[in-house]
A and B are shown apart, each in its own frame.
Chain A
Amino acid sequence: MKFRRYIPVLLDNLIWILLLGTVVLFSLLTDRFLTQTNITNIFIHAAVLGIAAIGLSFTLLTGNFDLSIESTIGFTALIGAWLVAPAGGIAHGSGWNVPPIVAALVMLLAGLGIGWINGALITRAKMNNFIVTLAMLIILRGIMLGFTQGETIAQLPAGFKALGHDKVGAFPLLVITLLAAFLIAHIVTTYRRLGRDLYAVGGNSAAALASGINPDKRIRQVYLISGALAALAGLMMAGRLGVVVPSLGEGMIFEVFAAGVIGGISLQGGRGTMIGALGGVLLLSTINSGLNLMRVSSFWIMTVRGMVILAAMFIDAQKVRYRVPTPTTAKIKTAAPAPATD
């Protein structure tokens, strides 16, 4: 029984224990794991996943989902690529030669626009966030397929690919962006009013309202953040791959969810940290890289991913179970949790 007291502490720091364990395991299994190239690769894989996970974590903190992230990544990447790519041939672009920086701004606006629509439907039309963003996920993917007729957009100019491709010294821009984004997200959630408000909205939206917070406004803001970050991830992904296929980002949302939840972001809202989410992102990327090095057949990788998601949900469920539930419903189930307080 005594052990149960340490379970919540363990669960809260579980991500770093898991990450360390995974690194040790793969280093023992293959000597190609702890090399500079492979570590760089892990971080590169983590970059797009991480940016998306930050966006999702913002919405989860308020107790909302954003399933549309993966389609927003693909959709904005497609818009950007189409604007900059040449027309005809195998390029399938607009041929307008739009400067990459302008294309990137258009992508950002598109991401914000999608976030704005999500937020407005959820808070103003009072629609369910899960269904709204699921519909958005499907609609955007549909537009991508319809617009390209299934063709790939290629021959992207170097300027457009810079973020996904270039390095500053030994450090890929992707990795610098990842770490900078998490640093900013960490500061915003812990040292700015916005972050505190989000935890309050996710923890108890009605009490947040009565404390002078406008929960609906905060929810609209997290969808704007999520949309903008998805556009950034889209630019990074397009640059890294060098082409944009209409299925870009498909299926990614589950990995993004798993990263956030394994990292300690609660699906119930109001709990979790950005640093934890970073841990979740690194863990998934590490597992991914390890499995590749071990030459696990790509036909089996999906199974592993599914199991990782299950494990993430299991951990989330245990957090609720081993935490003393709210006093109103749990009087009979639990001891007075803070002994000697009165």
Chain B
Amino acid sequence: MDTTTETYVVEMHDIVKTFPGVRALDHVDFRLRPGEIHSLVGKNGAGKSTLMNIVTGIYQPDEGQIWIGGERIETMTTAIAKGAGIAYVHQHSQLVPALSVAENLFCGNQPTNGAGFVNWRRMNREAGERLERVGLEIDPKSKVEGLSVAEKQMIEIANAMFAAARVIILDEATAPLPKNEVDMLFDFVRRQRDQGVAFIYISHYLEEVFEVCDTVTVLRDGQLVGDYQVSSLDMPELIRLISGAKLERFKRERVELDGKPVLEIKGLSRPGAYYDVNLEFKAGEIVGLTGLEGCGKAMLARGLYGLEPLGEGEVWLEGQPYQAKMPDEALDKGVAYLPRDRHGLGIVGIRSVLENISLSILEKLTNGLGLLRTRTERQHVRHYVDTLGIITPGLRQPVEFLSGGNQQKVVFAKLAGTEPKVLLLDEPTQGVDVQAKIEIMKIVDEMSRQGVAVAFISEDIREMADVCDRIVVMYDGAVTAEFHMGDPDATVEKILHAVEGG
């Protein structure tokens, strides 16, 4: 480790933090230089959040020293952190949607005129100047709710900078963003770094570490693995550092498919969503569905599942005309859907693992008197917890307390229990760590081997190439290309080219 006398914006030494039953941080060091984008990586539970909670003064460490800007801080508090210019930008926007950009920027200290009324002209003008200074072309008078997610995050970063922030923590900032907005956000972050702001960047997307970060600190089980220059690492090495073992990369073995499609879509159109879609899904097949945000791939899945209108055209399920007005109808007919928004649509966080997993099959678990057969239910849930490897202290544990990967497995268990013929997966590996990603891909593979037709919707082409038999590309609502994996022209580059509309 380097021993120069260079001044760090944040320096933490020998930090120990213990919670009942677990040592969350075990003698961890962390150093942040001005003007760097510093990634903090590790599996869920590695100690990233705890470390950030200490930097921001929310937790007090049991042992260890903290320096901010070269000055020793005896007792870190949220007030000290704020005063020292450490700001935290949440994954989900903290802005008030119904107010304008200017109102959000000046929230709590609006310029006023002599009579105490808000001086709107001055506020809008100053907001405009501030936005211009950081290179954001956003009308200060526009409502926040009309902005894209990336724009909202940039405004939050800008807002932190106006409050003289020197350190900005970005926690899973890109998780809710479509690809094109991620690039916009990265550009913005790089420009602010060049102005001397230091960023701590927390993400499960390791590609992003290589794309945007200068340095990376790796934590594993509460211990420091090390800090590295990103340029000195490659992806397999980083994965090895994070997991502690060399992770095998999952690669699906080819399967023989019989000819009959389970689900056939013929000339399906929904104005504003998709046009003249023709697709077939065979039993046991995993079909990747990709394209830019808004290309219609996700809307197609939601339409098939009855969460949105399906539109005009023909859909056949095992030779029968198919349509679902609501998800319960889709599930009855054998179509299941894994939503992209796990917290919003996937899990009932405050309820238990047991109740979440059996939620879609309660009818089947009911006896003649209309009462739940609780023993059968427990056996069913226990079976899926075991086969999917869901790590939980017990079946009564509220799902919100599980890690992201385990939450996603709970959703898989719920869907698998309905014994679907067609499984629509919308970004199934979003927001889970590398290890869980591979486990989830194995689960998808296993379900397809039991004869389920799977639609795997994602924007991560490399991941799709590993798990899909076929990748269908949509652009602007239409199916524009199809690649059979294993064919010589089914390369990641060619698929990416098709995604961009080429």
Contacts and interface: CB of A to CB of B under 8 A. Distances in A.
Interface string B315-341: 000000000001110111000010100
Contacts of B362: 193, 196-197
A210 B337 contact: yes
A193 B22 contact: no
A300 interface: no
Of the candidates A204, A329, A339, the one having the most CB atoms from chain B within 10 angstroms of its own CB is: A204
Contact of B347 (A187, A204, A324, A338): A204
B370 A203 contact: no
Interface in A312-339: 324, 326-329, 331-333, 335-339
Contacts of B44: 336, 342
Interface stretch (B148-156, B184-192, B275-283, B394-402): B394-402
Of the candidates B345, B346, B348, B397, the one having the most CB atoms from chain A within 10 angstroms of its own CB is: B348
B328 A203 contact: no
B343 interface: yes
A9 to B, nearest CB: 13
A210 to B, nearest CB: 4
A13 interface: no
Contacts of B117: none
Interface of B: 19-22, 24, 43-45, 49-50, 52-53, 56, 58-59, 88, 90-92, 171, 305, 307, 326-328, 330-332, 337, 339, 343-351, 355, 358-360, 362-363, 366, 370-372, 374, 391-393, 397, 400-403, 405-406, 414, 418, 433, 436
Interface residues of A, number: 39
A199 B351 contact: yes
A192 interface: yes
A197 B307 CA distance: 18
Given A196-B359, A200-B355, A338 B397 contact: yes
Nearest to A266: B350
Interface stretch (A75-83, A123-131, A211-219, A249-257): A211-219
Given A2-B20, A210-B307, A335-B19, A270 B350 contact: yes
B402 A341 contact: yes
Given A210-B337, A210-B346, A338 B359 contact: no
Nearest to B372: A191
28 contacts: A192-B366, A192-B370, A193-B366, A193-B370, A196-B359, A200-B348, A200-B355, A200-B359, A204-B347, A207-B346, A209-B326, A210-B346, A211-B327, A211-B360, A212-B332, A214-B326, A332-B58, A332-B171, A335-B53, A335-B59, A336-B45, A338-B393, A338-B397, A341-B45, A341-B392, A342-B45, A342-B405, A342-B436
A342 B327 CA distance: 32
Of the candidates A196, A207, A208, A336, the one having the most CB atoms from chain B within 10 angstroms of its own CB is: A207
